[in-house]
Amino acid sequence: MQIKRLRITGFKSFVDPADLRIEPGLTGVVGPNGCGKSNLLEALRWTMGEASAKSLRGAGMDDVIFAGTATRPPRDFAEVSILAEISGDEREIVRRIERGAGSAYRIDGRDVRAKDVGLLFADAATGAHSPALVSQGRIGAVIAAKPADRRAMLEDAAGIAGLHVRRKDAEGKLRATEANLAKLDEIISDQD
């Protein structure tokens, strides 16, 4: 997967719409302390489906919305769009949050579930919890990780994390079908 553009509106310190084109090769983000470098990485993780406000340094998810400053009023919504090339196709993933009303996701302009966004990124071997996104303090966490957690990181990197989700879904459907078959057997034997 290659991220080509990030468009951020009303997310944390990005009060005005910001359009960041990410060219092939190495991209560096530099700036003084507190200018919003970490907010940029959080905007990426949030759009990929991050569900924990705490891991985005907030108390609730509404805290990602621009909270206002001495000179600017707070915003009512935040929206982040990622334009990425995934398996040769250009895809646009958007997450939007309205104050007090929660989040909504879109892929290529269609409303989707958070799960669909999670699967799209998991299949592309990345996502909100991908080891490819290294935030402050994360290196220490990787070194100290338990074997099972390290295995999960390797599975993320290999792009097979989405298969576990699909397997769980398929097992659920299989159990429901087995229960229906058992019911059907009962009805048939009652009629005999």
Annotated binding site for ATP: 32-39
With 0-12 CB in 10 A as exposed, 13-18 as middle and 19+ as buried, what is 8? buried
* CA pair distance 22, 5, nearest whole angstrom: 6
Q: Residue 71 or residue 87: which is nearer to ligand ATP going by CB? A: 71
Convert residues 154-183 into a mask of x (bound to ligand ATP by CB under 6 A) and - (unbound): ------------------------------
* Token couple for 160: 């097979």
Q: How many CB atoms lie within 10 A of CB 86?
A: 16
Helix, strand, coil percentages, rounded to 5, for the chain: 40, 25, 35
* CA pair distance 16, 10, nearest whole angstrom: 6
By CB under 6 A, residue 103 contacts ligand ATP: no
| Residue 14 Cβ vs ligand ATP, minimum distance, rounded to whole Å | 9
Closest CA to 60 of 103, 22, 19: 103
| Residue 77 Cβ vs ligand ATP, minimum distance, rounded to whole Å | 12
Q: Residue 68 or residue 172: which is nearer to ligand ATP going by CB? A: 68
| Residue 124 Cβ vs ligand ATP, minimum distance, rounded to whole Å | 25
Residue that is written with structure tokens 């509106």 in the block:
9
Binders of ligand ATP among residues 5 to 34 (CB under 6 A) are 12-13, 31, 33-34
Binders of ligand ATP among residues 34 to 93 (CB under 6 A) are 34-39, 63, 65-67
Name the region of 109 (left: φ>0; alpha: ψ -120 to 50; beta: rest): left
Q: Residue 66 or residue 121: which is nearer to ligand ATP going by CB? A: 66
| Residue 119 Cβ vs ligand ATP, minimum distance, rounded to whole Å | 28
Contact positions vs ligand ATP (CB under 6 A): 12-13, 31, 33-39, 63, 65-67
